[in-house]
Structure formats: C-alpha cells, structure tokens
Copies of this chain bind each other. A is one copy, B any other.
Amino acid sequence: MDKKMNILMFSGEYDKALAALILANSAKEINMDVTIFFAFWGLLLIREPENMSDEDKSTYEKMFANMTPKHIEELPLSKMNFAGIGKKMLTEMMEENHTPKLKDFLIGAINKGVNFKACKLSCEVMGFKEDELIKEVKIVTAEEYLIDAMDSNIQLFI
C-alpha cells in the first residue's frame, strides 16, 4: 500500500507555503499519497483571485477578505520580511538558482494529484465560500482531517 503524508497548513507565509508545497511535490515524486488540509491563514494559499466576491459577507468578512493577500505570490515571509525586501531577496535567490516560483509548486501539486481540503470552520469564520477558493479544493470538517491524518505515515502541522 502506498505511504501517505498529511499536512495541516495553518500558516499563511511565503516560506512556510514553499516548505509545504515542496514536500508535497517531492512526496508525489516517490509515489506517496498526499493530502493538504488548509486551515486559518493557510486558506490564503488557495484563494481563486478571479472569483472573489463581497456578496453575502459581513462587514468584518469584507474587511478581512480585502486586507489579506489575494494571491499565493503575495504572501509575506515569516521572518526577515523587512516590508518586502527580505522576500524580494529570497525570490531573487530562488530565481538565480532556477528554482520554480511558489505558484509553480502549487500548480505542480495540483497536476500531480495532491488532495486539497479546506477547513469548514475556518472558511465559515473567515467568510470564504467554496467558489472563492481554487476549484480543486473540497471543504471538510476537522473530523475528516483527523480520520485522514491518523492513517498517514507522516503528519505535519506547518
């Protein structure tokens, strides 16, 4: 039986997103089954920029949706961000090294068949509707996360 990895993606930062998506891509390369469960700030990795709407949102939900990054490439670094300079430096260093961009790792993970789940409660609290997220994402409960994670060989909270 294939080995499984389950990542609970809680953070919404560029460098942590990179770590998670590089692991997800690498795991698929060695035929692991991979699920990423996006919760809290992690939802910012899977917004569909073409499909955002203020409809049916409360005032706070509208503020939240507009104050937070709309696209995965806009996420800040978890440290050394220096108002964006540190991130510019990291992305330039990645380019010098011919490393793909964060969005390429996201596309790679989608193409390789990584399972994308979003936390139901987080979506409700933050006011994200399923069609505001990329179409590969399915909204599930924390219980469904746990059932998948308990049978995984690797579980990480990022």
Interface residues of A (CB under 8 A from B): 3, 5, 8, 10, 12-13, 15-16, 18-19, 22-23, 26-27, 29-30, 32, 39-41, 58, 60-61, 63-64, 67-68, 79-80, 89-90, 92-94, 96-97, 99, 121, 124-127, 141-143, 145-147, 149-151, 153-158
Given contacts A150-B154, A157-B158, 13 further A-B contacts (CB under 8 A): A10-B16, A26-B145, A26-B146, A29-B143, A30-B146, A58-B96, A60-B89, A63-B89, A90-B125, A97-B125, A99-B125, A150-B153, A151-B153
B contact residues around A10 at 8 Å (CB): 15-16, 19, 158
With A8-B156, A153-B150, A154-B146 already in contact, the answer to whether A26 and B93 are too (CB < 8 A) is no
